[in-house]
Amino acid sequence: MRVTLGGPALDGFPTPEPAASVRLLLPGPDGLVVPTWNGNEFLLPDGTRPAIRTFTPRRFDPDAPSLELDIVLHGSGAASTWAEHATPGDEVAVSGPGRGYRIPSDAGSFLLLGDETAIPAICQLLDHLPDLPITVHVEIAVPEARLDLHREVDEHWHVLTEGAPPGDSLVAAAMEAPVDGDTRIWAAGEAAAMQRIRKHLFADRGLPRSAATIRGYWKRAVH
């Protein structure tokens, strides 16, 4: 679901780098209470932590001003529940933007890997990457989650096999992908899967750390 944030409070908001992050501070039962930053974390007046979720802004329009966020709807999550019930005029607070992806000038090709949570970042990267060979692997839970990437690339959509851990097909794609010395890799998704990809690229393949940017966007709940 695409949610658009707007209003004069966004005046002067820095334009995010590609695949940057913002933190969305969600309202509580009594409405929005803006927390304070103590140098280490956000805290509410009663000392508790607010509900905060991190997203990649899909688009920022400094003239409006407006900030578009794409939120994966998955049932009971705090942001998912908020997005499904939000109405125009509801208030949230935004912190950011955080660091994005600085496109390397020495790249000969790009390999992008991510799940549904990484689709906004992948689309942003495709808006900014130079005219070079680009391979994209996206893992989705259902076929209906496939979207138009709006760019001609070598794209592969993987529907996660029932019972398989999140990111399983991305790990397999990373292991099978041809990687040259000038290939630059960006990957994001479930944290444990990203750790497996990181180990494969750096330990097994011996790639330098500068060749890949790998980010854990979320953690699978263990019951």
Same domain, 9 and 72: yes
CB 136 within 8 A of CB 110: no
Round the average pLDDT of the chain to a whole number and report it.
92
**100 falls within a domain:** no
CB 163 within 8 A of CB 138: no
Same domain, 117 and 80: no
- Of 166, 163, 148, 1, which Cα lies nearest the Cα of 77? 1
pLDDT value of position 176: 97
**102 falls within a domain:** no
**101 falls within a domain:** no
pLDDT digits (tens, 9 = 90+) for 114-148: 999 999 999 999 999 999 999 999 999 999 889 89
CA atoms 127, 131, 132, 136: torsion sign: positive
CB 140 within 8 A of CB 164: no
pLDDT value of position 60: 92
8 Cβ neighbours under 8 A, 6+ residues apart: 65
Peptide bond before 143: cis, by omega within 30 degrees of 0? no
Same domain, 114 and 91: no
Domain boundary among 53, 71, 95: 95
CATH number at residue 61: 2.40.30.10
Same domain, 159 and 196: yes
Q: Mean per-residue pLDDT for 46-74? A: 89
CA atoms 166, 171, 174, 176: torsion sign: negative
**194 falls within a domain:** yes
pLDDT value of position 223: 58
pLDDT digits (tens, 9 = 90+) for 102-113: 999 999 999 999
H or E segment at 191? helix 191-199
Domain boundary among 95, 129, 147: 95
Same domain, 124 and 81: no
Q: Which domain holds residue 184?
A: 109-218
User: Which is more confidently placed, 118 or 78?
Assistant: 118
Helix (H), strand (E) counts: the chain: 4, 13
Same domain, 116 and 156: yes
The CA distance from 167 to 84, in Å, is 25
pLDDT value of position 221: 75
How far is the CA of 8 from the CAs of 11, 32, 62, 65, in angstroms?
5, 17, 10, 7
Same domain, 31 and 78: yes
Same domain, 114 and 210: yes
**147 falls within a domain:** yes
Same domain, 84 and 115: no
- Of 117, 118, 123, 98, which Cα lies nearest the Cα of 23? 98
pTM of the model: 0.85
Which range has the top average pLDDT, 17-31, 32-46, 92-106, 175-189? 175-189
The total of structural domains in the chain comes to 2
**223 falls within a domain:** no
**11 falls within a domain:** yes
**23 falls within a domain:** yes
CATH number at residue 202: 3.40.50.80
